[in-house]
Chains A and B, each alone.
Chain A
Amino acid sequence: MTVFLENARIIDPGGGTEALGNLVLDGGVIAAIGDMAAPKGAEVVDCGGKCVAPGIVDIGVKVGEPGERHKESFRSAGLAAAAGGVTTIIARPDTSPAIDTPETLEFVTRRAAEASPVRIRHMAALTKGRAGREMTEIGFLMDAGAMAFSDCDHVVSDNKVLSRALTYARAMGALVIGHPQDPGLSKGAAVTSGKFASLRGLPGVSPLAERMAFDRDMALVEMTGARYHADQVTCARTLPALERAKANGLDVTAGVSVHHVTLNEFDVGDYRTFFKLTPPLRPEDDRRAVAEALATGLIDILCSMHTPQDEESKRLPYEEAAAGAVALETFLPAALRLVHDGTLTLPQLFRAMALNPAKRLGLPQGRMAEGAPADLVLFDPDAPFVLDRFTMLRSKSKNTPFDGARMEGKVLATFVAGRRVFAAGEG
């Protein structure tokens, strides 16, 4: 099936350009880009001058399988992703049980392939049961398709265990994803320490807990030569350390969640638990510094950190409520706030949301080039709407901090391997 996208504003994150043109999708790849006419027999889609960009590659999506399917299944996550322009989900291993054996990995791979309209790839745990004591079978897990290894928010606190896992991972060429957060300092913390935490009487954690853990991880990366990605760098004071690590030639990249570049600690307001995240939301100065680091490329990757939670886990006093927010469907309109406020250009945004994550994981996606996979999102960056979490989200869980928020940017269609998996207005 050949698809012809005409009159599209084509976003090329690699070239850093956007230009009007046409696209031919054939055989699952982008067959041609330019101002050619429609090939014979092709299905013609008039983009009406709206944007076409490489589909989002989202590192770190929590799906509730196995263990918490009532919060999110591969089916619901896949539908939400398609509606949000996410064409590749990289699922997290912090499930119950954790994805820490080739057998569980094969199980979720099969389940995901059956259920989801978009591509789903998987990470595996770095240590068994994410307990921080013994490394998982990194080699077998890679053979079974693990994209990266992470214990997620269970930080490996034993340096010897982590150094061995990093050394072994280096030998296998595996990517290790760390969560830079000192576990001792952040224990029990619900917000970032400071004026707001004090006013609300909530236990806080210093932003320096992130820097400390990042510094430790950098020392271990220097020691072992491992490939390392920091899942979320959210504080201004971590940035110089990241810059230094990159300048020293360490194989290091960093990401940040869309919430940490679009919201700040004051959004928690009167104990609104949908704004409780891991790590907690930061002061505005940090938010701005990190958003600017996305523009310069110092922070490589923007991700959704999609974390579904049911109503019961959120309808609790703030300290006791579960952390995390769903984001697959609000990822693009939230991220477009950074384009609308002039922080990022559209190509820069898709560099962080598609090109860089694909590159880091060794995937062919994320590029706007002939021969690249035809995983694309067609969207109107300016279309306004007010989010209603109960009627507008396909995720099983509705814990979004953007409920009632005015947003701009609607996905019109999503293509995976040249096949349309979502079209606005078709449910």
Chain B
Amino acid sequence: MKIQYLGIENINGPLVFIKTPKEISYDEQVELILQNGERRIGNVIEVDKDIATIEVYEGTNGMNLGGVQTSLKGKPLSIKLSEKMLGRIFDGAGRPIDGLGEIESDVERSINGNAINPVCRSYPKNYIETGISAIDGLMTLIRGQKLPIFSGSGINHNLLTEQIIKQSNISDSDKFAIVFGLMGAEYETADFFKTSFKESGVLSKVVMFQNLSNDPTIERILTPKVALTCAEYLAFDLDMQVLVILTDMTAYAESLREVSTLKGEIPSRKGYPGYLYSDLASIYERAGMIRGKNGSITEIPILTMPNDDISHPIPDLTGYITEGQIVLSRDLSQKGINPPINILDSLSRLMKDGIGEGYTRKDHAKIADQIFSSYSKVQDVRALSKVLGESDLSETDKRYIKFGNEFEEKFINQGTDERRNINQTLDLALDLLKILPEEEMDKL
């Protein structure tokens, strides 16, 4: 039975305030029916004795105080889940927009999900070969990991993302799916990925949730949650290996800030709400593997660092939650190095347990440590050479400069269709290290 209430008290941006109906519960889904029959979904974000606050995901355009009917759904925001979602395109709130009809299913889950019990997790150890040297060699991606890409505006992270999707050996098996969440993305970005999926023939394995830059901003708050609820179903109910790509988390966090400000909440850093950490965690922590289940969720969120600032709250808090980060560098991008991965800022926390004998190669860890150590020395020498001039450097230092340049051009730099297996990657690294004098090899 659906009860409907007529009229609202107040509208402020995406927030609607109604007199508290008796049956309303906190965090309940509501449907707002406009006078012209249009239906919009909302969520109860605060209730007291008199007033209930509803966040409306499609915005409040065209709503008037008298004519809107509120219908309570008696459950939190949920979506219907089915294997048939593969190959389909949905809007940011999980409604089909490809004209192929509604998803019919008995399975319906709350998009908020539940936290995985830490004792039920299984520790991710299987590495994913992406065929990209910088990643495989130095920040190995592990199945079940959450590894974000920190980019900047104008740096082409889409190419890297595309290459990861195309080349990952995760996609070898049949039981493979990609869940793609676009938040505030440009039309071109959405189109780029759609074309790319079509060309590589994986379109039937992709579930796409898209909220474009001209779609309602508040709807973006739902997109990652909807996408991950779908991913959890595919991974833990249907035993699939799921790769979740979320882009752009910065747009998501900005929407969160927008709502928070309108609610009159006390801001913490840069106006973002104090619960930004908990909120981001509720998204990122849904990646992982569960003991006794075959599926996995590997998450690659992408975010653009405002003003390339890694200490900005969004990348900063993300880095504290995720298991490492892949940081892209404007300098390398301008030098024409692709993918422009700044290896020193980047890290994969799960790498240490997923490499070595039995996984990749016995000498992998040592080679990686040596590369990091030597390349970080390159930065010092480059700084010195800016002061002294390259010709005044010592012999050793000159070799460091040479190593730095060749490492960037031959190792980090890689064609977008070039696939190097782990042996090629590690051998290449060893070759490059030979540029340096032997006594500088303190990690090998």
Tell whether A pairs with B: no
Question: Residues of B at under 8 Å CB distance from A?
Answer: none
Question: Residues of A at under 8 Å CB distance from B?
Answer: none
